[in-house]
Chains A and B, each alone.
Chain A
Amino acid sequence: MGETEKLDRLLTEEAGELPPPPEVEEEITPWKRAMRRIVWGIGLTTCTLNVWNINTIMIMVGIVMLWLGFRALRRENRWFAICWGISLIQVVFRFAGFILNATIWGSEHPLSWLSYSVLLLPLIQYFCLWRAIIEVRRRASQPPKAGAAGALIWFYLVLAALALLNVQGLIIVGTILVIYILILRSLSKLPHLLDEAGYQVQPAPVRVSDRNIWIIWFAALLICIPTATLLFGRYPMEWLPRPEGEQAGLEEIRSHLVELGVPEQVADDLSAEDLSGLKGALRVEMEVTEEPFNDGREVRITFGRYTQVHTEYDVKELKATNLAVELPGKRWQIIHHFQWQVQPKYRTTECIVLWPAARTSIRGYQMEGTVTGRLLYDMDGTTYLGDYYRLNVEDYTTDSIFWGATENQWPMALFSLPLDGENYRGYLTYPMSTVDDGWILDSWMNYTHQVEFWNYPLMTAEQHEKQGLWNGTGGFKTSQTAIQFYPYEN
């Protein structure tokens, strides 16, 4: 007899005299581990907390727990097998969803047929779970009842109906909380449905251990999510080298503008069409601002008993040049130019919203055309040009705790900065005319840029702007600059 066999024999003999303590005995069952996973899986995927990224993490963990739980029981009866199949589909859907959420298309799809089916799947799964437990109990000659599992179906049905009807308000928060509590109560009762019958359950053998499944799942997410963000977390932009002598023949207009005060860089960046439109310029008004996209540093200055605290910015990443060029016939061409003075830290999505001088709240001006513009950058001595990914007037509503719901209709430009090169810049311009003298000319450029590393589920600068989030929150910051002056003395 070998050493191992001798030891095994001794341990077997002695173990007979040492019955397991209750806490160990409780663990030695064929179903508790699987049922615990199912219960946690349902809890984590149903009662999600929509705070920070907790709901994403809950679903990431819960969906795998569900699958692992049903994997162990899949051969017990056909209802458990269906539950397992559904949980596998859910894992695939959710994985695709997690990847999609790392791209700019993550939240661009409103509730579609796919979302409806994702909502429907748990309902079918809970029904099958209810049937599966009844089946186990019946086989163990126990009453075929599983009230807690049946109740789960009804509670989820109410929850799904509330989600589909998109009911909002405080009452709904209370209702959902009550439903969550009822669901959790049902879930706590669920494992006890198999307290006695569960011993006859025979878990299916597995080829890949639960531990390895967890490793594979999180490794796949850790690889695929950043990769998806890197590849598809930016707008697809097209950049072409600037044609030689683009401003040829327009030197006179250009030098006249520079004489009037237009900075060389702005004059250089204008397209031939925009430059020629400025022929005969009468005067130029300009405001130049340097804007930080960092938190700066806190500076404390003490004067006797008083301490003054302010933030100082050593680096101001964005230079904004806002110009109003007066043209004959009381016409104006407004130019909002920006230039990155350092390499931006994050190059995901950018958004510029204009509040033109000719807007409903300010009478005195009217738009004479649409907003146009372009983007530029330099690399290896060559200047590259690109169009905005999207440039049009957007209608959207923002909610604010101070001003309530606000209807917006502003020109909006969306783009991504290139990953290589330097001196990223661009401009937006529009023509307008004076209708009534005496009104302030007031045109704003709101440039939104990502300032924090963490951005998952991926939010675009456009979404940040449209959600009306407080400036500096949500990982984005908006630089607001403007040109404001009274054009006519009287």
Chain B
Amino acid sequence: MKGEEAVRRLLAGEPDALDGVSAAYTPLLNYVIFAILEDKQEREECLADVLHQVWQAREQFDPEKGSFTTWLTILARNAALNRRRAQRRREAGRAEWDEKLPHPGDGPEEQVLKAEEREQLQQAIRKLSHQEQVLFYRKYYYLQSTRQMAAELGTSQRAVEGKLYRLRKKLQKALGGEYHG
């Protein structure tokens, strides 16, 4: 309830509301950030970034599109991923990493292709069972490690790997077995 009150005040633009949001949602933000970033300092900086973004972008939050926690999760995930990309770029050298990133200059043809792929994937995800969807989002949205997933699902890492293998096969089949990554 306290969190909800802080969100209401934040959206109303009350300057001290961010403290309340921070107190209530730091565990959630950390939960998302910790799965993506390993370095302690990076994590702390990322959290500070996200809280700053929350204040800056508060007017962009649209309750009709999703809950506040979903919005927070998106901010935290993107911020953590950006940091991880930057960190890897520094470590591995820009040229090598650029190969793995989606090319910024995708032409109109590739963009149409990607949109089709996304539509196909959405359909495939919708066809997954609830448990499979949970596993999919843990792995590909929250980017959780097998170890973390196993601990939270009360199973062994081997069992999680097996389930992920079957999930991949299912999605691969649904996507026609071809990727344009």
Contacts and interface: CB of A to CB of B under 8 A. Distances in A.
B179 A10 contact: yes
A28 B154 contact: no
B111 interface: no
B102 interface: yes
Contacts of A490: none
B41 interface: no
Interface in B76-100: 77-78, 81, 100
Contacts of A200: 27, 30-31
A15 B136 contact: yes
Contact of B141 (A10, A19, A205, A211): A19
Contact of B154 (A6, A9, A140, A210): A210
Given A7-B171, A24-B130, A25-B70, A210 B155 contact: yes
A16 B78 contact: yes
A305 interface: no
Contact of A72 (B67, B81, B154): B154
Contacts of A21: 133
Nearest to B153: A33
Contacts of A208: 156
B24 A206 contact: no
Interface in A1-29: 1, 4, 6-25, 27-29
Interface residues of A, number: 50
A30 interface: yes
Contacts of A8: 140, 168
Contact of A15 (B27, B31, B141, B156): B141
A10 B116 CA distance: 13
A86 interface: no
A108 interface: no
Given A6-B181, A15-B136, A25-B73, A206 B150 contact: yes
A84 to B, nearest CB: 13
B31 A16 contact: no
A4 B172 CA distance: 10
Given A28-B134, A197-B27, A198-B27, A16 B81 contact: yes
A11 B24 contact: no
Given A16-B141, A19-B141, A30-B152, A9 B181 contact: yes
By DSSP majority rule, is chain B's interface helix, strand, loop, or mixed? helix
A8 B69 CA distance: 25
B31 A14 contact: no
Contact of B23 (A6, A68, A142): A142
A370 interface: no
A49 to B, nearest CB: 27
A297 interface: no
B70 A10 contact: no
Nearest to A75: B151
A198 B31 CA distance: 10
Interface string B145-181: 0010011111111010000000010011000000111
A202 interface: yes
A211 to B, nearest CB: 7
Contact of B74 (A13, A19, A71, A207): A19
A141 interface: yes
A475 interface: no
A278 to B, nearest CB: 73
A196 interface: yes
B3 A11 contact: no
Contacts of A344: none
Given A198-B27, A203-B151, A203-B152, A10 B181 contact: yes
Contacts, number: 132
A144 to B, nearest CB: 13
A356 B102 CA distance: 97
Contacts of A205: 147, 150-151, 157
Nearest to A208: B156
A14 B140 CA distance: 9
A268 B134 CA distance: 77
A89 interface: no
B122 interface: yes
A141 B121 contact: no
Contact of A204 (B139, B140, B151): B151
B125 interface: yes
Contacts of A141: 23, 26
B137 interface: yes
Nearest to B137: A20
B55 interface: no
A24 B140 contact: no
Interface in A187-203: 195-200, 202-203
Interface string B20-45: 00011111101100000000000000
B47 interface: no
A209 B156 contact: yes
A219 to B, nearest CB: 18
Contact of A12 (B30, B31, B143): B143
A115 to B, nearest CB: 31
Given A9-B100, A199-B30, A200-B30, A22 B70 contact: yes
B120 to A, nearest CB: 10
B179 A6 contact: yes
Contacts of B27: 140, 196-200
A76 to B, nearest CB: 11
Given A140-B26, A196-B25, A24 B133 contact: yes
Given A16-B78, A71-B154, A142-B23, 18 more contacts: A7-B179, A12-B143, A15-B141, A16-B81, A18-B141, A19-B73, A21-B133, A23-B130, A25-B67, A29-B31, A196-B25, A197-B27, A199-B27, A206-B154, A206-B155, A206-B156, A209-B156, A211-B159
24 contacts: A9-B100, A10-B181, A12-B143, A14-B140, A15-B137, A15-B141, A19-B74, A21-B133, A24-B130, A24-B133, A25-B67, A25-B70, A27-B130, A28-B142, A142-B2, A196-B27, A199-B31, A200-B27, A200-B30, A205-B150, A206-B155, A209-B154, A209-B156, A210-B154
